Amino acid sequence: MENYRIERDSMGEMKVPAERYWGAQTQRSFENFPIGWEKMPKEIIRAFAQLKKAAAQANHDLKPEKMTEEKCAAITAACDEILEEKLTHEFPLAVWQTGSGTQSNMNVNEVVANRGNAIAGAKLLHPNDDVNMSQSSNDTFPTAMHIAAATAIHDELIPAVDVLIATLKRLEQENQGVVKSGRTHLQDAVPISFSQEVSGWRGMLEADREQLTRSLDGLCQLAIGGTAVGTGLNAPKGFGEKVAEKLSADTALPFVSNPNKFHALTSLDRMVFAHGALKALAADMMKIANDIRWLSSGPRCGLGEIFIPENEPGSSIMPGKVNPTQCEAITMIAVQVMGNDTTIGMAASQGNFQLNVFLPVTAYNFLQSAKLLTDGILSFNERCVSGITANKEKMNENLHRSLMLVTSLNPYIGYDNAAKVAKKAHKENLSLKEACLELGFMSEEEFDKVFHPEELV
């Protein structure tokens, strides 16, 4: 480290890169945890900036003799620069650090203090005494994690789901009256309209959206005000409520201070519940993507009932091959989210006494899931679903070849006789009508009167 300055903390001196705003504790973490390439998510840093700004303003309201207007202004200005992404390179710490996230809290405290001092042109701020006033890493990291998770769901993921729902509604309208063969157990089943099939996909996403929305109630309950163990030591009365009020005003999300800080500091159940909604969405996206790639399989040796956009060559050896690549991307995302859900569930089970120390890994996995689903759904919508068209000729052909149309004869010849018709038709490569007439169960006139596949939906 050629150009450095000396920073001090309670453990002594540290050499810190001269051009950086971080301090001794950040540098210690940077050197002590050279693990992996996963860095603390930018969404967590952004949430910390929102939190530190709100905390400074709350402290100014509640104890202005300590948090002066000048100090509050300097903290606010530094936090605004973080929110404007002007200080992105000041947050180098790994996810794989202390399980409470203390070092990332101190990373933010040090950067805000040093940058705030530079803005003020005076040595106003101390990272612990001022930027971390009335706080502990034990309540700030869970709070930042909830802010980031709620924001990702409310501002990014739900709007992405809404885009895909709108596309599916359009496909429903465009395909009213298009009848095709249904399938259960990967075998032929009774008829269904294509619009009904699409409505099933839409219904899944609408249910997922409702579950995501419901998860916001828990995520909007914040640990701030609990400080070290939930008792609120060194925080003024009403601090947590004041911070939540200011965060709500800044974000338009209904943040509140969790009334039981002992719960808020030691449990990750809200994150587990919310990620369960992400997993449900991932599971439904897996099902929808699989349906689409089965229905579009071919072009000559598959089902071939729908056409999807052809975006890129599908093979380095087979000329002309095109694959359902957007479906493959979204299904890979789905399995990643399911793996993340296992990690978060395991992490949540590991709280000991007054604190859970699996916070960074929980935050990282949650935000990765939300980001992957958001980006994946938008790409899947734009580059696949929005371009789906029905192959009506193939649907009609498959419909009239389906042996399960025999189900419509049950009321007239009974289940057992209808099964005989289906088995004879399949074995001898006959139409259902031909098999039914040969078995003598109905006359041609009777069969034609009741057998109307397009009306079975």
* Residues noted as catalytic: 185, 315
Cα distance between the two ends of the chain: 74
Total Cβ atoms within 10 A of residue 217: 14
Q: From residue 100, give the alpha-carbon distance in Å to each of 107, 137, 228, 359.
A: 13, 7, 11, 6
* Joined tokens for residue 100: 């409470």
CA distance 174 to 57: 54
- Alpha helix positions (H), 123-193: 137-151, 158-174
Interior/surface letters 383-396, b for 16+ CB within 10 angstroms, e for the rest: bbbbebebbeebbb
**249: which residues sit within 8 A by CB, 6+ positions away?**
none
Helix (H) or strand (E) holding 426, with range, is helix 415-428
> Given the DSSP bridges, would you call strands 221-222 and 256-257 parallel, antiparallel or unpaired?
parallel
Q: Which residue in 346, 340, 344, 302 sits closest to 324, CA to CA?
A: 302
Q: Which residue in 157, 171, 184, 348 sits closest to 266, CA to CA?
A: 348
Q: From residue 198, give the alpha-carbon distance in Å to each of 43, 181, 256, 273.
A: 34, 14, 39, 28
Q: Which residue has the tokens 């200080």?
A: 87
* CB contact at 8 A, 138 and 229: yes
3-class state of residue 343 by DSSP: helix
* CB contact at 8 A, 246 and 58: yes
* Joined tokens for residue 204: 């899944």
CA distance 304 to 390: 9
